[in-house]
């Protein structure tokens, strides 16, 4: 039985390293990142563009026996509403939302047989209102709604949960906070006064994949340095 991780950088890489020695399969479109992870952790991998129809299903079928499923692919879109286009919305949903649901649908038979666990990802911006986050908040908000519905649909055999982080020090996070002064300023808006790390998310993901969390399903878990508490 394998843990299937979509995403080879940031959280995906951190989780693969935490699970090194177990049967882990990682899928992403970055062959270089996948080859590095395979060398470091012994994982198997597939090159996959999740935005293309049929690619997610192909990877799931390649892996076959899935007990844990993690969809850690995503982006950050920060634009005021006046600049948002239809393409922005479609591209964001086709990366963050549609493939996440497709992955669960494709793997559901194997997950049920193995009493498996699914971990999806949202954002603090879907939990509270943040300026210029309409696009990503909408796409990730849909992931949260899907998490609750899928948890009901797949129970009692499969657990489905979602982690909602704030900004994390990762390749993706650096697209927003590449400048150290900007990163420091953003960190200061969190009660814990720092940005998150990929390991902050990977540790909770690992817990949710294990039987230790066997009575947790349908939950949206904030891992955000207290940001969501501050803004409610």
pLDDT at 182: 82
pLDDT at 176: 66
Q: What backbone phi and psi angles, to 5 degrees, belong to 107?
A: -95, 0
pLDDT at 80: 96
The pair of structure tokens assigned to 185 is: 């300023």
pLDDT at 191: 86
pLDDT at 231: 63
| Distance in angstroms (rounded) separating the CA atoms of residues 220 and 192 | 20
Q: Is residue 190 part of a domain?
A: yes
Listed residue (121, 138, 120) closest to 129, CA to CA? 138
Residues 6+ apart with CB under 8 A from 185: none
Q: Is residue 129 part of a domain?
A: yes
State the total domains in the chain. Answer: 1
Q: Is residue 74 part of a domain?
A: yes
Kindly report the CATH number assigned to the domain that includes residue 168.
Answer: 3.40.50.720
| 168-169/196-197 β-pairing | parallel
Q: Is residue 230 part of a domain?
A: no
What angle (nearest 5°) sits at the alpha carbon of residue 137, between those of residues 9 and 191?
75
Q: Is residue 229 part of a domain?
A: no
CA 30 vs. chain centroid, Å, equals 16
Determine the angle formed by the axes of helices 55-63 and 98-113, rounding to 10 degrees: 20
pLDDT at 171: 73
Q: Is residue 231 part of a domain?
A: no
Residues 6+ apart with CB under 8 A from 37: 8, 13, 16, 17, 26, 43, 45
Q: Are 167 and 195 in contact (CB under 8 A)?
A: yes
pLDDT at 178: 66
Domain of 119, in residue numbers: 2-224
| 2-6/44-47 β-pairing | unpaired
| Distance in angstroms (rounded) separating the CA atoms of residues 204 and 161 | 11
Q: What backbone phi and psi angles, to 5 degrees, belong to 210?
A: -85, 165
Mean pLDDT by 10 residues, the chain (232 residues): 94 97 97 97 98 98 98 94 97 98 99 98 92 96 99 99 92 70 85 92 98 98 91 60
């Amino acid at each position: 039985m394998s843990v299937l991780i979509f995403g080879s950088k940031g959280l995906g890489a951190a989780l693969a390293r935490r699970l090194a020695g177990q049967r882990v399969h990682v899928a992403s479109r970055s062959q270089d990142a996948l080859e590095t992870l395979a060398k470091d952790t012994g994982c198997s991998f597939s090159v996959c563009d999740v935005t293309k129809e049929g690619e997610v299903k192909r990877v799931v079928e390649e892996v076959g026996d899935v007990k844990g499923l993690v969809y850690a692919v995503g982006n950050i879109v920060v634009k005021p509403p006046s600049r948002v286009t239809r393409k922005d919305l479609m591209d964001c949903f086709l990366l963050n939302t549609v493939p996440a649901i497709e992955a669960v649908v494709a793997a559901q038979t194997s997950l049920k047989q193995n009493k498996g666990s699914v971990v999806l990802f949202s954002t603090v911006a879907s939990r509270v209102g943040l300026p210029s986050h309409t696009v990503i908040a909408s796409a990730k908000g849909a992931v949260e709604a899907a998490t609750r519905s899928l948890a009901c649909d797949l129970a009692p055999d499969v657990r489905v949960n979602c982690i909602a982080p704030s900004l994390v020090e990762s390749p993706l996070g650096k697209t927003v906070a590449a400048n150290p002064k900007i990163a420091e300023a953003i960190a200061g808006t969190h009660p814990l006064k720092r940005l998150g790390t990929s390991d902050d998310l990977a540790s909770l993901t690992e817990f949710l994949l294990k039987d230790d969390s066997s009575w947790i399903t349908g939950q949206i878990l904030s891992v955000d340095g207290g940001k969501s508490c501050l803004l409610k």
